[in-house]
Every structure is written in C-alpha cells, then in structure tokens.
Structure 1
C-alpha cells in the first residue's frame, strides 16, 4: 500500500471540501459535493458556503431551504444537518440505528412502558395537519398518555421518525423553537445503502479509515461494509500506519498546493469528519477547539487550525476577535485580518467593523 503524508492528506481534504479555492458551483451541487452542511445553528451553513463558493449570497441559500430543495434534519452523529433531498433519502435510513440507540440512551427510561410504534403513528397523524414544534408535539402526544413526560415524547419522535424542520427555521439569523414536519414527501424509506454512503463519504473526505467514517456518521458496523467493498476501493497507509480507503478513481492533491486563510464556522465538517484529526489540527490544538460537544469557529492558516474566532455585536458595530493557538507571523496576521474583514462585509454589511488579533 502507498504511504501518504499528513500534508498530502491535508491538501486532499481541503480540495475535496472546496477550501483551497472557492468554486463556481450551485448551492445544491456544493451541498452534495460536501455531503451535507452542519446546521446546529441557523447561520452555520451560510458561513460554510461563503468560505467555499464564489458570489455566494444569503438569499440563495434561504430560497433553497424555503422551497425544500435542501432539508434540515437530525442526521449524522444525531446532530442537525442540511442536505439535498436525494442525500436525505440516502443518509436518513443509514443513521436510523444510531438514532434508535440515542433515543434509548437519552429517553429510554422516561418512555418505559410506552408503545413507541403507536407513539410514532400518533405523531404522524398529528403532523399530517401541519408542522408543530417539539414542545407542542410532545404536549399533544402526552394528552393520551397520562403521566408521560411531554419532553421525552417530543425528543423520542425526533429520533425515531424521519422529520424535517421547515423554513423559516434554519434560515439566516432565525432562532427559536424548531418546527417538526413530516418527511414523507421526500420519498425517504427504511432501506439503508451503507456502501453508497461510504462511497459518498470518501468522495467528500477521503482517503479515510473505517474509524474516520464511523466518527463522521455515528454509524456502527462499518468495518464489515468496508471489507465487503475492499475489492472496489484503493488503500493507503498514513504516517502512523493506519489503513486508509479511497475511491479507485479519486486523485490526491499535491502537498505543494497553497492553502489560503479561511475563517470556518463552528462544527465545520473537516474538523469533525475524522477520528484522527491530525490532518487539520494537532492533538494539542484539538483540545482547545473541541471542548465537550462543542467545536469552535476556527481560522485555517496554511491548511491547519491556527486560531479560534468569535464575533461580538452592538447596535451599529461588529467586532471579530481572533485567538491565536500558535505564534502567527506578520504576514499571517495580515492575511487573517483581510479575510476577516471580507467575512464581516458578508455577515454585517454597513456595520462599523473591527478586527482584533
């Protein structure tokens, strides 16, 4: 097997994730190329695409969410993601066992004695009349289940039934209660195609190990699927001897490719898509970026995490603060300030802007 250096893995990941050069793709094509956008917060998909697409505008992504071209739901790692409808049909059945396990671990005790199949069937009937928020749905379901915890019922349905969260939820700067709507219109079924999910994962993030694919998806049992697929995949080893898989016709990026400064948002995919994240950050940096369930907004310099960033807004001004995680050169600081200024022009046009490092 060919050995791949960490820098080659870094450049290949950034290239596949559109972080070496902004692309002229449509929003849907980009979302499918990236295999989804993290949507834990409403603005995160917008910031992710701003970093990756030329001439990207907020209204374009909002329109794609409003017309249902892209849907938001609980998916990989049991977290919120924004995907195209075809990709939702691919991913939702694949992560179904994960979501069943999460429900059991988080709400199993609170739903002991409740017929979960009947609960889901009742939820479907209620949602047939239109979207409900999780508290509203839980309260309605509890009406026929005396003593049941409405919160547990709402969360249980979120994990066990394919649902989407319709606009305006999930659009730019829209916060508040998340509505649930039936996903039946998407054509999602219960049949999982794990080999196709793996192919798509490798296209977006490869070369990668079995553990990497598990970390990205939260899905177990992938070792056996990779073994079945071995004849159709290419294999490599990394600098630590780990076996990596890739698509047979996928190319590796040159380690000499330049990597421009990028200010990626919280939970951005390359920071979460691997069990071994040394291709994008050192273990020491990871401890500062990944704290508990949170993953900070980060600054990529020469392709790796060099700082964290955050913003603070007042009525007429916005300040972006960069917290270095290593020593930055004068040239690097200037490049970060320039990119940060462009980002604030996108997020807060017309505001008084200040960038501090």
Structure 2
C-alpha cells in the first residue's frame, strides 16, 4: 500500500481545501465543496473564502444569506456552520443524536429529569408563529413550565439540538454586527428537513463520507469523525469502501480517498495564505499535524487566526486599528517575510473600508 508522507498529505489538504491555487468557483459551489465553513465568528467565513477564491466579492456571500441559499445553523461538532441550504436540510437529521448528547454533556445536571421530546414540542409550539427570537427569549417563554434548568440550559438544548434553527440575517452579513435571532430551519428555507431513514441504511452517512473525502482526503476514519462529530459512521464507510482507494501514512494509519482526486507532488510550491479562526483546514482532522506543528497545536482550538508559509502554520495574525498584525512563530527568510507582507497588505485592503492598507510583521521569536 502506498505510503503518503507528511508533506504529501499537506499538499493534498491544501489542494482539496482550495488553498493551493485560488479557485474559479461561484461562492455557493465553494461553500458546498468545503462542506460548509465554521462560522460562530460571523465574519470569519469571508476571510476563509477570500483566501480560497479568485476575485471573491463578499457581497455575493451576503446575498446568498439573505436569499436563503446558504444558512447559518448548528451542525458539525455542535458548532455554528455556514452551509448551503440543500446540505443543511439533507444533513440535519443525521446529526440529531450527536447534538443532543453534546448539549447534555454540558448541561446534564440542569436538564436531569426533563423529557426532551416534550421540551422540543413546547419549543416548536412557541416558534410556530415564525417570529424570530433570541435564545433567551425562547427559553423565557418556557421557563414557567421548566423553571429549574435556567434559561441558558433550556436555550442551548432547544436552539442547538432539539429544534433545528437558522440564525437569520443581518447576523453574518458582511461588515455587519447583529445579535442572534432564530427561526425554525424549515420555516426560513421554505422546505422540510429530510427525514431519517427507517430501514437501517445510512445514505446520508455515506454521502457525508464521500463529501468529506472530496474536501479533506486522503483521511482516516478518525479524521472524518473529528470533523463531523458523529460516532456512527463506520458502517457508512464500510458500505462505500469498494468505491475508495487506500493509502497509509508514516505512522501506519489507513487513509481513505476517492479515486481520481488531486494528490499533488509533495514539492509543489505553496503560497502564503491567511486563514480565519477555526478554519476547516485546521479543525477538519483528528491529525492536525498536516499543517500545524505539535508545539502550536493549541492554536487550532483557541480560535487563533493563522498564516500558512510553505503550507504550514508559521504565524498568527490579528487586526487592530486597520492594521493587519502578523506575529511569526518561527524565523522567516527574506523572501518569506516579503511574501507574508504582500499577502497581508492584500488582506488589509480586503478588510478595510478605507484606502488605508497597513500590515506589520513582528520580529521572529528568539
């Protein structure tokens, strides 16, 4: 079985994540290819798509949100994701059990003794008027019936797990700050959520596995699980195994992939890329060593914005008073420093609503 070393996997990841070359894709197609973008920080998907698409116009993504072609909702790993409407409706039922268990993992004591199906029915009844509500407003509407848990536990269980919700614009629009207002997903999109299968088959799990490998492969089953948070996918992977090609990594792990997908030469040059907080390329794997060194692994879960240099995390970045500040994690060569500064200036121009374009690259550590 062919062994793919760390550099080969690194370049494959960048190619699948549209980070090796800027892609000429419509925004909707890019969101679909990436299987959504993590979006609890509302402006971060814009940077993620700017880093991936040629001539990305942020107004295009805002228009898709207001036009209901993409939607913000809790899904993979119980985090807010920006997804196509089609994917949100197709995938939501498959995530139900995981979403409940993850909320219970935080609020099990507060929710002890509460019939969750009864709570879900009450929540749907409150939201039946299709009036957007905050999580707190929804929880308060039910607090007289269930006073013990408190609004936070009730709201989290309802919004993130029991009643599939969309977070409505203006939340998530370009350069817009707005609180979270929720509406049932099916009401907002005008279509019902796809029901779970009743015959024991798992077509949604199989589709998720294929889509994941297209955007993240080659990858191990543990990587797939880490991305979506679903425990019950071994059967789905087994059902499509004959469609797949297999490799091993340097540690001997089996890696699965779709045939004919890009697996670039490990020596393919990789451009500087600025990634947003919680980017797919970081959080989409159990083995995050593909692009980040063990010493800096914590950055991926801390919400740090990172800079890829030669396709590996080599710096963090932030914005203050219109200036993109880059903090290296290692020494840069002169060419690398120039490339980071140039790309940082382009990012500053993208983020700024003025003609000011400033970037500051700090000194390397040590």
TM-score range, shorter chain: over 0.9
| 1-structure distance, mates of 2:164, 2:348 | 36
Task: Name structure 1 gaps, 5 residues minimum.
Answer: none
- 1:54 maps onto 2:54 in alignment: yes
CA offset at residue 256 of structure 1? 2.7
Tell me the CA shift for residue 145 of structure 1.
Answer: 3.1
Alignment of 1:1-357 (within 5 A): 1-129=1-129, 130-158=131-159, 159-184=161-186, 185-191=190-196, 193-287=204-298, 289-290=299-300, 293-313=301-321, 318-357=322-361
Q: Is the 8 A contact 2:170 2:177 kept in 1?
A: no
Contact 2:205 2:236 (C-alpha < 8 Å) held by counterparts: yes
2:92 alignment partner, SS class:
helix
Task: Note if contact 2:348-2:359 (Cα within 8 Å) is conserved in structure 1.
Answer: no
Distance in 1, Cα, partners of 2:113 & 2:251: 49
**What's the CA shift for 1:224?**
3.5
Residue 256 of structure 1 aligns to a residue whose secondary structure is coil
Q: CA deviation at 1:100?
A: 1.1
Superposed CA offset, 1:185-233 (max 9, x none): 3421341611110000000000000111111111113334323332221
Distance 1:308 1:148 in 2: 39
Q: Are residues 327 and 186 of structure 1, via their aligned partners in 2, closer, same or farther at CA, if it must alter by over 3 Å?
A: farther
3-state DSSP of counterpart to 1:352: coil
Q: Which runs of 5+ in 2 are unaligned?
A: 197-201, 362-366
On the 8 A contact 1:299/1:309 being kept in 2, the answer is yes
Q: Please, which moves more after superposition, 320-329 or 91-100?
A: 91-100
User: Is the partner of 2:215 in helix, strand or coil?
Assistant: helix
1:157: how far off? Answer: 0.6
Cα deviation, residue 117, structure 1: 1.4
TM-score (norm 1): 0.94
CA contact (8 A) 1:238 1:244 kept: yes
Q: Is the 8 A contact 1:3 1:237 kept in 2?
A: yes
Distance across 2 between alignment mates of 1:128 and 1:57: 36
Deviates more, 1:4-13 or 1:250-259: 250-259
Question: More deviation in 207-216 or 124-133?
Answer: 124-133
Asked whether the 8 Å contact 1:85–1:186 carries over to 2, the reply is no
**3-state SS of 2:72 partner:** strand
Residues 274-311 of structure 1: per-residue CA shift (max 9 Å, x gap): 11112111211224x23xx4231000111111111111
| TM-score, length-scaled by structure 2 | 0.91
Q: After alignment, is 14-23 or 121-130 more displaced?
A: 121-130
Partners of 1:337 and 1:123 lie apart in 2 by 50
